[in-house]
């Protein structure tokens, strides 16, 4: 029996010719990630082992969740991370002012390549599957052990084959595609499975689309999401200065899948996930009776330059509705600079939006946009669980940057076509 993309990567890193669903493996890892929330407890576990780090160049530490520090507790956690990075001479420690939201920062810094295994003490580490890597979130104890050993364990997952065909309509973006998929299979529809994307429709997707889709594989319960390599992948890697050798993986013709999901891009429309689960999807055009108080555009899901370009396209020449707070968060400092050079920041400010330094901020209810009792936000983030962005009686609606920006202008959830005719 042949292997999927994920299984091939796991086999190679475990020193095996082949693996099968359910096998338990010890695998070498190429990069280990932790942030200002998950890093400190992982470091504490590492310190119990009493060994040096396995490779100071293969650990990435990013203070992005509550950073720039919002209070004394977050400052102490960041200091813990910083002290560890200095003690062990961690090359890829990204300080405030040079940092970004981790899942946008690491690919842009050239730290991810096809065929690699990346683990992170953050559930959205699966983002890097857009670059044909096997990337997944793990526990803090696993990260602590991996920093000493350079290895971790895996159970080989089953796989769902997602076949993309057709052409992407103008306002349909990666966020609409993955929300549509989650709406079809549910938040546990891919539980501990690999979402493996294929089909001629992949050529319709930008790299930003692919990062967004893989980022939210976990919201369907997936172990990881993964795309094959094409010319867009190669161009992205070249632009990010990835010069080390890498080997792309493709699925075998006789690879075994637990199920197959067909997505016809032409049939998709902009969608919104209603509270309190990402599977609760509805067309944005049928949601214009929902008044909002806040619109957030950013996060590891949708804070890339392409996402800001969509927001700028909508907001140019318009004003944020007087009853709405619009908060825009570029995902990295480099993205911020490029957005300034392209005039996006002026457009945002002229429209009445607030522009933040890179941070996860409001996505996890950290800061920079906490919701009060009864408030509603439309957001380009990845989760809309009860209390996710503030008060337990607030509501979060997930959407693409196009839809979130159009909603900010209209004062209610709006299809982008309401603003951009």
- Domain 15-264 and domain 273-416, same fold? Reply is yes
Quick one: tokens of 275? Answer: 């509270």
**Which CATH superfamily is 273-416 part of?**
Aconitase, domain 3 (3.30.499.10)
Task: Please name which of 265, 284, 264, 259 lies closest in space to residue 274, comparing C-alpha atoms.
Answer: 284
Could you state, in order of their start, the residue ranges of all structural domains in the chain? 15-264, 273-416
305-315 vs 207-215: helix axis angle to the nearest 10? 100
Range 15-264: architecture per CATH: 2-Layer Sandwich (3.30)
39-49 vs 140-149: helix axis angle to the nearest 10? 50
Q: What are phi and psi of 221, to 5 degrees?
A: 90, 5
Distance CA 211, CA 128 (A): 7
**pLDDT per residue rounded down to tens, the chain (421 residues):** 799 999 999 999 999 999 999 999 999 999 999 999 999 999 999 999 999 999 999 999 999 999 899 899 999 999 999 999 999 999 999 999 888 999 999 999 999 999 999 999 999 999 999 999 999 999 999 999 999 999 999 999 999 999 999 999 999 999 999 999 999 999 999 999 999 999 999 999 999 999 999 999 999 999 999 999 999 999 999 999 999 999 999 999 999 999 999 999 999 999 999 999 999 999 999 999 999 999 999 999 999 999 999 999 999 999 999 999 999 999 999 999 999 999 999 999 999 999 999 999 898 888 899 999 999 999 999 999 988 989 999 999 999 999 999 999 999 999 999 988 7
Residues 6+ positions from 245 with CB-CB distance below 8 Å: none
Our measurement of the distance from residue 119's CA atom to the centroid of its chain's CA atoms, rounded to an integer in Å, reads: 14
Distance CA 367, CA 64 (A): 12
Q: Please, what is the Cα angle at 392 between 387 and 397, to 5 degrees?
A: 55
285: left (phi over 0), alpha (psi -120 to 50) or beta: alpha
Q: How far is CA 98 from CA 108, 191, 287, 300, 342, in A?
A: 13, 36, 39, 16, 20
Q: How many C-beta neighbours within 10 Å does residue 24 have? A: 10
One DSSP character per residue, 60-75 reads EEE--SSTTT-SHHHH
Quick one: tokens of 206? Answer: 């930008």
> Do 151 and 117 touch, CB atoms closer than 8 A?
no
């Amino acid at each position: 029996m042949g292997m999927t993309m994920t299984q091939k990567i796991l086999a190679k890193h475990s020193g095996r010719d082949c693996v099968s669903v359910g096998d338990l493996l010890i695998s070498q890892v190429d990069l280990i990630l932790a942030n200002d929330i998950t890093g400190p407890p992982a470091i504490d576990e590492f310190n119990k082992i009493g060994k040096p780090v396995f490779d100071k160049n293969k650990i990435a530490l990013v203070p992005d969740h509550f950073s720039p520090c919002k209070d004394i507790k977050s400052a102490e956690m960041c200091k813990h991370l910083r002290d560890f990075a200095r003690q062990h001479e961690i090359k890829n420690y990204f300080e405030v002012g040079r940092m970004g939201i981790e899942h946008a920062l690491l690919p842009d810094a050239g730290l991810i390549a096809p065929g690699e295994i990346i683990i992170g003490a953050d559930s959205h580490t699966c983002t890097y599957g857009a670059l044909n890597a096997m990337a997944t979130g793990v526990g803090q104890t696993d990260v602590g052990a991996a920093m000493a050993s350079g290895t971790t364990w895996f159970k080989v997952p089953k796989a769902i084959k997602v076949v993309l065909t057709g052409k992407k309509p103008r306002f349909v973006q990666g966020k609409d595609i993955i929300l549509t998929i989650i709406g079809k299979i549910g938040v546990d529809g891919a539980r501990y499975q690999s979402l493996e994307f294929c089909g001629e429709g992949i050529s319709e997707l930008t790299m930003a689309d692919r990062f967004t889709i893989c980022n939210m594989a976990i919201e369907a319960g997936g172990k990881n999401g993964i795309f094959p390599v094409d010319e867009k992948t190669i161009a992205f890697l070249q632009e990010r200065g990835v010069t080390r050798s890498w080997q792309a993986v493709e699925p075998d013709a006789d690879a075994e899948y637990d199920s197959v999901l067909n997505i016809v891009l032409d049939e998709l429309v902009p969608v919104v996930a209603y509270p309190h689960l990402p599977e609760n999807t509805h067309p944005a055009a049928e949601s214009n009776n929902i008044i909002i108080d806040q619109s957030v555009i950013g996060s590891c899901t949708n804070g890339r330059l392409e996402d800001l370009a969509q927001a700028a396209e909508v907001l140019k020449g318009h004003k944020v509705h007087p009853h709405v707070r619009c908060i825009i968060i570029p995902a990295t400092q480099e993205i911020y600079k490029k957005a300034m050079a392209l005039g996006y920041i002026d457009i945002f400010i002229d429209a009445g939006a607030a522009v933040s330094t890179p941070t996860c901020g409001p996505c996890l209810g950290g800061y920079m946009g906490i919701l009060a009792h009864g408030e509603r936000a439309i957001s380009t983030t990845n989760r809309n669980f009860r209390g996710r962005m503030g008060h337990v009686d607030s509501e979060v609606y997930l959407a693409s940057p196009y839809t979130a920006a159009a909603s900010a202008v209209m004062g209610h959830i709006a299809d982008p076509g309401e603003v951009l005719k």
